């Protein structure tokens, strides 16, 4: 008999007791008052209804069953939040209860067992790590100290575009290089000599994080990852990444290393580790996990946002012209847009908000309840997985007129701020688990976008029209444009 037969036989033997347990628990759950949701199949529940574009599938189901919906994903009870009103009710009244994070198989490995900020559940260590991130790593003073880094890298990007303007520019690739370089210099104080190799390594790591594991829905089947290649891939790429981060830490600790003018993030973590008065003792795993966390959260998302924004602008040339007119009027005569000019670019900020509303970099955000609670009369037990559909919230027709239309003017007389507090759009998350890197990301995005529009006029490559532009989304941890965005750039007369 084939090897596959024995694997399936073993799978059947292993899962049969759990199947009976699952059916017993489901019977008990049905006696509770829980949110509405679609009917379930035996064993897999509603997994078959999630599909290849989960945020779209969940939005369609929520249109039928309501903005607070129950799904059984494998053996994991799950609720889905799909409207601003439900999000407001939950995170104003039950924020603490909904502040947990599910233990996902790949994330646990790549966070050194849950020693970072993004993937750790709510506990004392997470609270202290987040406090370190907000007050030390990503505070206003620290973000401002990277002003020169952002300026230099944006300038290098635009000079590369100017030299290459005879050919279409791959903005998907170029903006990722920009984000990687800025974040690398912020974390390590330098760019890597083998930047292409490191970028490819991080692409593989982010790809692994974006793929769900069978263990995320059937915890007892974790052993299958030994046979499907997932464990081998995780060990390979995590091992390579661990060596790089470890070497960087050793270089920072070298006694002959000259003291930098400004601390990078590794410097800050090492300083806190030596502080005997610190609330928690940072281990070597923390010092390696937190930079990886910041890199993953800050590079892919920034690149994706810039690409979606430029794609929307190329499809809406009147909006692009309006943004360029504003920038060129305010910055007129200077070589590049400087950060101190960004507060004056009101329409540019509206363009960025509209792009983030329509294309949030993480369309689905996972949480987990840490206690039993009641929401809207429904019983939500502890350890229930929670999915916040950020995309659905930002396109809720109850709060947005013509929600799928790209129209930055809707923000010109609006009090909605990317930094909150509001629930009509939450591209950086919501509540106490909102993204602590928002203050790092916004200056990067605004500066890069402003200079792309100030220094160049943009068109589609010859022979293409806006109708030909593919706006399909790619499945992954970050919502990228599926096909690279390639545009023709002409240096502007400024």
Do 116 and 189 sit in the same domain of this protein?
yes
pLDDT in tens, the chain (494 residues): 334 323 433 454 455 555 555 555 555 545 568 999 999 999 999 999 998 899 999 999 999 999 999 999 999 999 999 999 999 999 999 999 999 999 999 999 888 988 899 988 899 889 999 999 999 999 999 999 999 999 999 999 999 999 997 899 999 999 999 999 999 999 999 998 777 788 889 889 988 988 888 999 999 888 888 888 899 999 999 999 999 999 999 999 998 898 888 899 999 999 999 988 888 888 899 899 999 899 888 899 999 999 999 999 999 999 999 999 999 999 998 999 999 999 999 999 999 999 999 999 999 999 999 999 999 999 999 999 999 999 999 999 999 999 999 999 999 988 888 877 789 999 999 999 999 899 999 999 999 999 999 999 999 999 898 888 999 999 888 999 999 999 999 999 87
pLDDT score at 19 = 53
pLDDT score at 173 = 95
Do 318 and 219 sit in the same domain of this protein?
yes
Do 210 and 226 sit in the same domain of this protein?
yes
Do 16 and 47 sit in the same domain of this protein?
no
Q: What H or E segment, with its residue span, contains residue 453?
A: helix 438-455
3 marked among binding-site residues = no
Burial level of 303, CB count in 10 A (0-12/13-18/19+)? Answer: buried
Contact present, 424 and 399 (Cβ < 8 Å): yes
The runs of H, that is alpha helices, within 66-100 are: 84-93
Look at strands 373-375 and 456-459 and give their pairing: unpaired
pLDDT score at 183 = 95
CA atoms of 56 and 467, how far apart (whole Å): 22
Domain containing 69 equals 32-491
Do 15 and 87 sit in the same domain of this protein?
no
Do 21 and 145 sit in the same domain of this protein?
no
pLDDT score at 21 = 56
CA atoms of 404 and 410, how far apart (whole Å): 12
Do 78 and 146 sit in the same domain of this protein?
yes
CA atoms of 311 and 315, how far apart (whole Å): 6
CA atoms of 186 and 321, how far apart (whole Å): 33
Do 170 and 232 sit in the same domain of this protein?
yes
Look at strands 385-389 and 76-81 and give their pairing: parallel
Please choose, from the candidates 205, 274, 257, the residue with its C-alpha nearest in 3D space to the C-alpha of residue 235.
205
Please choose, from the candidates 363, 352, 343, 339, the residue with its C-alpha nearest in 3D space to the C-alpha of residue 306.
352
Indicate the pTM of the whole model. Answer: 0.92
Domain with 451 in it: what CATH number? 1.10.630.10
pLDDT score at 83 = 97
pLDDT score at 470 = 94
Do 10 and 83 sit in the same domain of this protein?
no
**Tally of CA atoms within 13 A in the half-sphere of 183 that contains its CB:** 28
Question: Which 3 state secondary structure label does DSSP give 145?
Answer: helix
pLDDT score at 9 = 34
Burial level of 203, CB count in 10 A (0-12/13-18/19+)? Answer: middle
Each residue's pLDDT tens digit, 40-93 = 999 999 999 998 899 999 999 999 999 999 999 999 999 999 999 999 999 999
Contact present, 237 and 230 (Cβ < 8 Å): no
To the nearest 10°, report the CA torsion of 360, 361, 364, 365: -110
Each residue's pLDDT tens digit, 324-383 = 999 999 999 899 999 999 999 999 999 999 999 999 999 999 999 999 999 999 999 999
Burial level of 14, CB count in 10 A (0-12/13-18/19+)? Answer: middle
Please choose, from the candidates 458, 485, 443, 483, the residue with its C-alpha nearest in 3D space to the C-alpha of residue 153.
443
Task: Please provide the average confidence, as pLDDT, over all residues in the chain.
Answer: 90
Do 352 and 213 sit in the same domain of this protein?
yes
How far separated are the first and last CA of the chain, in Å rounded?
A: 74
CB atoms within 10 A of CB 147: 15
How far is CA 295 from its chain centroid? 11
- Provide the angle, in degrees to the nearest 10, between the axes of the packed helices 438-455 and 317-331: 90
Cα angle for residues 87, 93, 97 (degrees, 5° grid)? 90
Look at strands 486-491 and 456-459 and give their pairing: antiparallel
Burial level of 126, CB count in 10 A (0-12/13-18/19+)? Answer: buried
CB atoms within 10 A of CB 461: 12
Do 49 and 20 sit in the same domain of this protein?
no
Do 17 and 156 sit in the same domain of this protein?
no
CA atoms of 267 and 250, how far apart (whole Å): 11
How many separate domains does the chain show?
Answer: 2
How far is CA 161 from its chain centroid? 27
To the nearest 10°, report the CA torsion of 309, 315, 316, 318: 110
């Amino acid at each position: 008999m084939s090897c596959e037969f024995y694997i399936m036989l073993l799978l059947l033997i292993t899962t049969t007791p759990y199947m009976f347990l699952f059916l017993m628990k489901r019977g008990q759950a049905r006696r509770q008052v829980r949110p509405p949701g679609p009917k379930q199949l035996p064993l897999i529940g509603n997994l078959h209804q999630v599909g290849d574009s989960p945020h779209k599938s969940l939005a369609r189901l929520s249109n039928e069953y309501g903005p607070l919906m129950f799904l059984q994903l494998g053996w994991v009870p799950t609720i889905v939040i799909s409207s601003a009103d439900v999000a407001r009710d939950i995170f104003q009244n039950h924020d603490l209860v909904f502040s947990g994070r599910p233990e996902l198989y790949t994330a646990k490995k790549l966070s050194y067992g849950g020693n970072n900020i993004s993937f750790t559940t709510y506990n004392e260590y997470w609270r202290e790590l987040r406090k370190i991130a907000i007050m030390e790593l990503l505070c206003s003073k620290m973000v401002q100290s990277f002003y020169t880094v952002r300026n230099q890298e944006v300038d290098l990007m635009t000079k590369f575009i100017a030299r290459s303007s005879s050919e279409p520019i791959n903005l998907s690739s170029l903006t990722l290089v920009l984000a990687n370089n800025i974040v690398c210099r912020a974390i390590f104080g330098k760019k890597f000599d083998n930047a292409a190799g490191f970028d490819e390594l991080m692409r593989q790591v982010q790809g692994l994080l974006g793929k769900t594991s069978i263990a995320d829905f059937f915890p007892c089947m974790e052993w299958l990852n030994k046979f499907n290649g997932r464990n081998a891939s995780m060990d390979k790429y995590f091992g390579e990444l661990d060596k790089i981060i470890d070497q960087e830490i050793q270089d920072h600790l070298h006694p002959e290393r000259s003291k930098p003018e400004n601390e990078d993030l590794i410097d800050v973590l090492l300083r806190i580790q030596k502080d005997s008065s610190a609330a928690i003792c940072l281990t070597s795993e923390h010092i390696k996990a937190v930079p990886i966390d910041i890199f993953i959260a800050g590079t892919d998302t920034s690149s994706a946002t810039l690409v979606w924004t430029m794609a929307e602008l190329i499809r809406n040339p009147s909006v692009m012209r309006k943004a360029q007119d504003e920038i060129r009027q305010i910055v007129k005569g200077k070589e590049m847009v400087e950060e101190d000019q960004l507060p004056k670019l009101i329409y540019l900020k509206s363009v960025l908000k509209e792009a983030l509303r329509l294309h949030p970099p993480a369309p689905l955000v996972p949480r987990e309840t840490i206690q039993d609670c009641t929401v809207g009369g429904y019983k939500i037990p502890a350890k229930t997985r929670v999915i916040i559909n950020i995309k659905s919230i930002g396109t809720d027709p109850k709060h947005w007129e013509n929600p799928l239309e790209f129209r930055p003017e809707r923000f010109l007389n609006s009090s909605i701020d990317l930094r909150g507090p509001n629930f009509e759009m939450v591209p950086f998350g919501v509540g106490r688990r909102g993204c602590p890197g928002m203050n790092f990301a916004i200056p990067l995005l605004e500066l890069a976008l402003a200079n792309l529009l100030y220094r160049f006029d943009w068109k589609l490559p010859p022979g293409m029209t806006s109708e030909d532009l593919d706006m399909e989304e790619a499945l992954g941890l970050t919502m990228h444009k599926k096909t690279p965005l390639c545009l023709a750039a002409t240096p502007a007369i400024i």
